[in-house]
Amino acid sequence: CSAPANKPVLTLFTKKPCPLCDEAKEVLEPYKRRFILQEVDITLPENSAWNEKYKYDIPVFHLNGKFLMKHRVDIQKFEDQLAKLELQNY
The per-residue pLDDT for range 6-27, each reduced to its tens digit, is: 899 999 999 999 999 999 999 9
Other beta carbons within 10 Å of 24: 22
Considering the domain boundaries, does residue 47 fall inside one?
yes
Domain membership flag for residue 59: yes
What pLDDT is recorded for position 3?
52
**pLDDT, averaged in runs of 10, over the chain (90 residues):** 73 97 97 97 98 97 97 97 89
Structural domain including 69 reads 9-89
Instruction: Note whether residue 43 is domain-resident.
Output: yes
* Other beta carbons less than 10 A from residue 80's beta carbon: 11
Residue 35 belongs to a domain: yes
**Domain-located, residue 42:** yes
CATH code assigned at 52: 3.40.30.10
- Whether 3 is covered by a domain: the verdict is no
Establish if 74 belongs to a structural domain. yes
Question: What pLDDT does 34 receive?
Answer: 96
Whether this prediction's pTM lies above 0.75 is answered by: yes
- How many domains does the chain contain in total? 1
78 close to 49: Cβ distance less than 8 angstroms:
no
Query: Cβ of 19: how many Cβ atoms within 10 Å?
Result: 8
Average pLDDT, the chain: 94
In a domain, 4, yes or no: no
- Name the nearest CA neighbour of 5 among 89, 62, 68: 89
